[in-house]
Amino acid sequence: MGSPTSAQPSAPPGNSRIGRIVAASLVGTTIEWYDFFLYGSAAALVFNTLFFPSSDPLVGTLLAFLTYAVGFAARPLGGVVFGHYGDKIGRKKLLVISLLMMGGATFAMGLLPTHASIGVWAPILLTVLRLVQGFALGGEWGGAVLLVSEHGGDKRRGFWASWPQAGAPGGNLLATGVLALLATVQSDETFLAWGWRIPFLLSGVLVMIGLWIRISVEESPVFLEAQKKAQEQAAAGVKEQPPVVEVFRKSWREVLLAIGTRFGENISYYILTAFLLVYVTVHLEMSKSDALNAVLIGSAVHFVTIPLWGALSDRIGRRPVTLIGALGMAVWAFGFFALLDTKSFPVIVLSVTVGLLLHGRCTGRRRPSSPRCSTRRSATPAPRWAPSSPRSSAARWPRSSRSNCSRTTARPSRSPSTSASPPWSPR
């Protein structure tokens, strides 16, 4: 791991093998995003009342979303820590740990007493668990994309690496679907009393399924080759730089560029999915089921189309796909709230679906081809503070720092020949 370009990827695996790897990454990221998004939906619908009671409903909602933001603050730290150790002990082990942390925190939320039972300790404990969620997701996202991209071939890297990205709308789809079902079959009183806990407790079952699938996945061939090279260098007396230090020393420009590409993409996604729930239910005074179903439909379209945009990026390049999505989102933003204000359910569904469809084009592969987890996970931070997605910055770091770069930028990787190109390059 001392030489950034020495570890070369092995030959692409067969379709059945890469299929298993993709499935394991997709299931894992879907479960982790289910846990992460579940909090956002609950913050909009129940946490403001149960954990932050106030005479002013707006104050309770703001406090609930303040703890929601805490998760974003923890994600950069998780990305750097997981990225650093992902370069040392492997991608697979860290992905298992992140899944356990996320699932454990979410399950514990379902058991928490409310403010009425333990007073101020309820929101404090909720905030601590939210920090654990954010830390775990910071390690999960870039690592899952990295694992797939390191197994896949260069010709279809955008397509394969896009599947873990689909875990974000997949998790949102699952979380919103469960909440929408409960909101439909339960009265508001029942849902507030205990029904909201069901989706959080369900996380325990989902994590067990995810672990069973993820443990069966092989370690990344790029990491194994880089590890072998590092052992040879250590035997020869060559001193290795810490992964995080190497990332910021050699690839700081790429890290900053990757951070910049993600701000608008991140912010727009959470407006379309989390803030929309509050806006529709509180400001427009429409039903919870209408708001949840709109996000549910939009997330389904988002989930299906992300791999299609990934495949398209393999054919025409990352830059055109990303720019079209970014420009489309910029234009759509001007009419988005006007469409919501019609209070027409079909129009609201249309506004969310088109927004998420365009957002899917922005989540293309933009990452370096460095083999350090630390490289990839080091640019995820800033956008984490301003909510994102990952497919088009995946190609630009020294192979020796891929894991850290990945978890920092949360983006998939590319071929060695593109490791010096900027995030907006055509390939």
Task: Give the rounded percent of residues in the chain with a pLDDT score beyond 90.
Answer: 16
Most confident of 3-7, 99-103, 359-363: 99-103
Write down all domains in the chain, each with its CATH number in brackets: 15-418 (1.20.1250.20)
pLDDT at res. 396: 41
Residue 151 — very low, low, confident or very high, per pLDDT cuts 50/70/90? low
- Which residues, 6+ apart, have CB-to-CB distance to 109 below 8 Å? 39, 126, 129, 200
Q: Name the helix (H) or strand (E) containing 209.
A: helix 197-215
Q: Check: CB of residue 357 under 8 Å from CB of residue 301.
A: yes
Per-residue model confidence as pLDDT tens digits over 274-300: 889 889 988 898 988 899 899 989 999
Judged on CB neighbours under 10 Å (0-12, 13-18, 19+), 289 is middle
pLDDT of residue 94 exceeding 70, the answer is yes
Per-residue model confidence as pLDDT tens digits over 383-400: 433 333 333 333 344 444
Per-residue model confidence as pLDDT tens digits over 159-200: 877 888 888 888 888 988 888 888 788 888 888 889 999 999
> Rounded to whole angstroms, how far apart are CA atoms 11 and 340?
49
> Rounded to whole angstroms, how far apart are CA atoms 212 and 289?
33
> Rounded to whole angstroms, how far apart are CA atoms 277 and 408?
29
Per-residue model confidence as pLDDT tens digits over 300-356: 999 999 888 888 888 888 888 888 888 888 899 999 999 999 999 999 999 999 999
Residue 417 — very low, low, confident or very high, per pLDDT cuts 50/70/90? very low
Per-residue model confidence as pLDDT tens digits over 204-221: 988 888 888 778 777 767
Evaluated on CA atoms 386, 387, 393, 398, the torsion sign reads positive
pLDDT at res. 356: 92
pLDDT at res. 96: 86
pLDDT averaged over every residue in the chain: 76
Phi-psi region of 367 (alpha: psi -120 to 50; beta: other; left: phi over 0): beta
Most confident of 27-31, 70-74, 226-230, 353-357: 353-357
Tell whether pTM > 0.75.
no
